[in-house]
Amino acid sequence: MKKGYDVRGTSLVPVYPQGYACSPLTSLYASWVDVDGSHRQEIHTGVDGGRLGEWILAPGPGVVKAVWEANWGWGNEGALLLVHKASELNLDDGAPFYYTVYDHLRYDEIKHLQVGQKVPRGMQLARVSRPGGHAKYLPEVHWEVWEADADRLTWTTNRFGGREWRNRSARLIDPLYMLGLHEPPEDDRSVSVVPFDPAADYRTFPGFTYIFDCPKS
């Protein structure tokens, strides 16, 4: 599998488990196609998905790194950043830290989260909303994954007046890469999505489970 460092295409595609009704990803990493089928103005730095009001689940154990009101040009909205240690994800090589970022949330739903708070795999983080909370946009959560050599943030203000984090050691990768580590695809492309199971033992599970609930169909 390719990681797709710095928003390079990986050709990775999700394969959802039979017998489960997983909410699908609607726009993939490094794509120029938005969730509504329109052409993006810039290449996609994560993956989008989710149905309105659906819970977003933590894909692995970690810690709350930042909770803030963001603005990426769609209006004020909630944003959340978790940091995951490689050791917690049963990864022996590569970067020591992984950041997961969740955009287009409702700030009121996440403002109770505290920096430093431990987050177990499968924890309900927030519900899927719309960019800026505006009804004219389709529902989605924008999910990014970053590798980082050091867990240090600085903050700046973007051209929309919103807060924006920086980590000079962090590099974007395709979230599907992290979802495929448990069972690397034989064709280097088809990633088998694993739903979170609260009864499962993840002590040796490498990487991430899916960020949406997958009820049995």
With a CB cutoff of 8 Å and minimum separation 6, the contacts of 17 are: 192, 193, 194, 195, 214
Supply the pTM of this predicted model.
Answer: 0.96
Percent of the chain with pLDDT over 90: 95
Give how far Cα 78 sits from Cα of 102, 108, 137, 174, 185, Å. 9, 8, 16, 22, 34
Average pLDDT over residues 202-211: 98
Pairwise CA distance, residues 187 & 12, whole Å = 10
Residue pLDDT, tens place only, 47-62:
999 999 999 999 999 9
Confidence at residue 41, expressed as pLDDT on a 0 to 100 scale: 87
Q: Which pLDDT score, from 0 to 100, does residue 65 have?
A: 98
